[in-house]
Structure 1
Amino acid sequence: MTYNALYSNMEGTSFLPAFLVVSSASTFIISYVTAVLRGDIDVIFPYISDTGAEPPESCIFGLLTSLTAIASLATMYARYKFIERLIDRTGGMRPCVNKAGLLFGLLSCFGMCVVATFQETVVVVVHDLGALLFFVTGVIYICIQTYISHRAHPYGSSKAMCRIRTGISLLALLALIPTVVCALLVGKTKLHWNGDEKDYGFRLASAVCEWTVAFSFVFFFLTYIRDFKLFTLTVRAELVEQD
């Protein structure tokens, strides 16, 4: 069977990345709007975690972030199985690369769950470690998937899509560095800042870059929607007779 025939007989699973994009964007936007309307955060570039630091937005943030983590897990696993099938049929790369991508994806989902569970103003160290794990492993994940997209071409992704993913990955990687470095230079954790405070510049730079990395993830998974139309996933239950 040719690949064109194989693809034409498949129904898509594009609802997975589509749902992930909607849930992740909703997490950022709803929590931010709620926190701003209540006066809990500054309007100009708060940290993403600031938008979920105080109730009731903390409840919304925790719920939607957990939902996004589950959607991310499902989407990453579906992508892993798709690439696994491509490797079986076409070769072109080592299976360990695909497995490494899944591993870093799982770690980023775990970091997301930590961020959702431990609020920034309650358990600072655990929250910050979870955020660091989420962002670092998340960027590594999309970089690996970009590499896989280039190696798998022309199966799965067009050349234009490979270039788009390369641009998004580079943007996320470049924004990640000042996100972490500037955050380390900020001496205190609080929700409201004045422009004349000592560490305000570092804090603003870190927050801007953090939002850049976060929305890079959103746009990267948005590029999955077309690819996920090329395959379906099925669940098969097998009964095992007991002696």
Structure 2
Amino acid sequence: MHYERLDFFLYILAALVPCGFITTYLIALSNGHVRAFLPYISDTGTEPPESCIFAQFLAFGALIQLIISYIRYHHLKLVINSTQSTHLSKHNILGFIFGVISSVGVTIVGSFQETNVVAIHFLGAGLAYGGLFFYNLIQTFLSKKLSTVLRSNKKLYFLRFKLLCLSFTLGLLFSIFSAISRSKFHGKNKIKWGPDDGGYAEHIVSTASEWLLTFGQLGLLLTFASDFRRIKIAYPTVYDPHLDNIQSSTGYQTI
């Protein structure tokens, strides 16, 4: 038995993330936990009950992201072995490692709210965004090197390259202006950051960059959908040699 249309994992992730964030944003806004204009993504999932929903969405998203990384790793492993491009094996392994790192980072972001354990929350965000950036970077590199087999044309490669550059720039803006705005903040509640709290302009640049970075990274992932569409996964087979001994000694047959 084979499973097809594995590109649906990418579509589910791309739909889950905005749906999850919009849901928690609307709940947080209705409860008066955030301001309406461009809060940080994490701010929409800081206070209960939205924090519970936020954590569940991210946990599910991390699982799907891990599945995507696993499928991609084995697909490229097959391509690399078939084309005798064994020098690319280490890049494939490294890409899978970054995929795992990013998935772990996503779960950390959902489990450790900024208002509770800020250092761990920021660590998770760094792993999530940084891991996904390097994962996409390696996948873009491998798709270029294996373009003949993967049927990746130049237009698709340049689109990925542009999205990588955009993600890198947005990541810098997000980090730099976040630090600047926090150094200027003199209000009482950073989740409800207002124009009178200091560093508000820098804060908006940072939050806007975070939202754009998130959707830019998802868009980059979606460019690999065609690769996932053409492959299949066989149903896993479970084998227990101990059962052979039981059958031979008792004559019992499983159905």
User: Is the TM-score greater than 0.5?
Assistant: yes
| Alpha-carbon displacement from aligned partner over 1:177-200 (angstroms, at most 9, x marks no partner) | 121122222136611122243222
Aligned alpha-carbon RMSD (Å): 2.0
Given the alignment of the two structures, is residue 50 of structure 1 paired with residue 43 of structure 2, yes or no? yes
> Aligned pair in 2 of structure 1 residues 97, 40: CA closer, same or farther (>3 Å)?
same
Normalising by structure 2, report the TM-score: 0.85
> Aligned pair in 2 of structure 1 residues 35, 13: CA closer, same or farther (>3 Å)?
same
> Residue 190 of structure 2: SS of its match in structure 1?
coil
Once superposed, which parts of structure 1, at least 4 consecutive aligned residues long, lie more than 6 Å away? none
- Counterpart among 149, 152, 171 of residue 155 in structure 1: 149
- Code of the residue aligned with 1:166 in structure 2: it is F
Given the alignment of the two structures, is residue 225 of structure 1 paired with residue 225 of structure 2, yes or no? yes
Higher RCO, 1 or 2 (CA under 8 Å, sep at least 6)? 1
Normalising by structure 1, report the TM-score: 0.89
Q: Percent identity?
A: 29
Deviation of 1:228 (Å): 0.8
Q: Distance in 2 between matches of 1:11 and 1:156?
A: 17
Deviation of 1:202 (Å): 2.2
Q: Distance in 2 between matches of 1:173 and 1:194?
A: 28
- Counterpart among 163, 169, 172 of residue 167 in structure 2: 172
Q: Distance in 1 between matches of 2:64 and 2:101?
A: 14
Q: Distance in 1 between matches of 2:5 and 2:149?
A: 15
Q: Distance in 2 between matches of 1:109 and 1:232?
A: 23
Given the alignment of the two structures, is residue 191 of structure 1 paired with residue 185 of structure 2, yes or no? no
Deviation of 1:39 (Å): 2.3
Aligned partner of 2:215 in structure 1 is 215
Aligned partner of 1:4 in structure 2 is none
- Counterpart among 118, 123, 126 of residue 124 in structure 1: 118
- Where structure 2 has 5 or more consecutive residues not aligned to the other structure, the ranges are 246-255
Query: Is the Cα–Cα contact under 8 Å of residues 105 and 141 in structure 1 kept in the other structure?
Result: yes
Deviation of 1:231 (Å): 0.7
Q: Distance in 1 between matches of 2:239 and 2:40?
A: 48
Give the aligned length. 235
- Counterpart among 85, 90, 97 of residue 78 in structure 2: 85
| Alpha-carbon displacement from aligned partner over 1:142-191 (angstroms, at most 9, x marks no partner) | 11111111111032242132222222111111111121122222136611
State which drifts further: 141-150 or 88-97.
88-97
Q: Distance in 2 between matches of 1:135 and 1:218?
A: 11
Given the alignment of the two structures, is residue 74 of structure 1 paired with residue 67 of structure 2, yes or no? yes
Given the alignment of the two structures, is residue 38 of structure 1 paired with residue 39 of structure 2, yes or no? no
State which drifts further: 104-113 or 132-141.
132-141
| Alpha-carbon displacement from aligned partner over 1:198-230 (angstroms, at most 9, x marks no partner) | 222222111111111111122122223222111
> Aligned pair in 2 of structure 1 residues 10, 59: CA closer, same or farther (>3 Å)?
closer
Higher Cα Rg, which structure: 2
| Alpha-carbon displacement from aligned partner over 1:54-103 (angstroms, at most 9, x marks no partner) | 11111111100000000000011101111111101124451000111111
- Code of the residue aligned with 1:150 in structure 2: it is K
